[in-house]
Amino acid sequence: MSKRIDINQAVDMIKDGMTVMIGGFLGSGSANNIIEAMVKAGKKDLTIICNDTSYVEFGSGYLVANNCVKKVIASHIGTNPVTGEKMISGEMEVQLIPQGTLAEQIRCGGAGIGGFLTTTGLGTIVEEGKQKISVDGKEYLLEKPIRADVALLGASVCDKFGNLVYRGTSQNFNPLMATAADLVIAEVKEEVEEIAPEYVKTPYLFVDYIVKVD
């Protein structure tokens, strides 16, 4: 069965109030056409999980700038001043997580692991409200897994089965997020008949739908 859907069908699957993972780094590797269509459709009250909030006019930051988001879970927000403004005013909640910790939380969510121990954040505000566990006399923070309702991936190439390849650095967070959401939609730029197994970065079994864009 074909996994191809059009962009409007993809947007219809994303409901107000959902938690949405958005792959990429500063918009590279993000499903930017789907994001733009979400803004046009007036999606609201979303919680987005992403490495960063990109820029005002691009990537996940476009959702923030157009009032589609109620909460951001990310590693940094410095490239998008609107995110900072909304956080300071209390209009939008922002949860900042160290980048490596965020990646591992998503990996745990996809692998069915109950959490992991790390020293990152000990003695800082990162540890507030978190359980501490001592192992061989050394203290760690327990970081719990993260999952989402939807993951939006930005891929370079797909084949007829839905296997994905990411060119250059566009792989950012996408393979991890593909494993950690109930519904996975990939925006792709190029379709081929098949991809050699050794080049596949996200296997087809993780991908529910494909949106082909120009």
Give the pLDDT score at 214.
Answer: 83
Spelled out in words, what is the top-level CATH class assigned to the domain 7-113+146-212? alpha beta
AA identity, residue 80: N
> CA-CA distances (angstroms) from residue 173 to 73, 169, 177, 184, 214?
14, 10, 6, 13, 22
pLDDT band, residue 38 (cuts 50/70/90): very high
Q: What is the pTM of this model?
A: 0.95
Segment 114-133 shows an average pLDDT of 95
Q: Which two tokens stand for residue 194?
A: 């098949």
Give the pLDDT score at 192.
Answer: 96
3-state SS class at 134: strand
Q: State how far the Cα of 128 lies from the Cα of 60, in Å rounded to an integer.
A: 27
Q: Which residues pair with 20 in a beta bridge?
A: 48, 150
Encode pLDDT of 163-184 as tens digits: 999 998 899 999 999 999 999 9
- CA angle 93–95–100, rounded 5-degree value: 160
DSSP states along 138-195 = EEEEEE----EEEEEEEEEEE-TT--EE--TTTTTTHHHHHTSEEEEEEEEEEE-S--
Q: State how far the Cα of 170 lies from the Cα of 200, in Å rounded to an integer.
A: 14
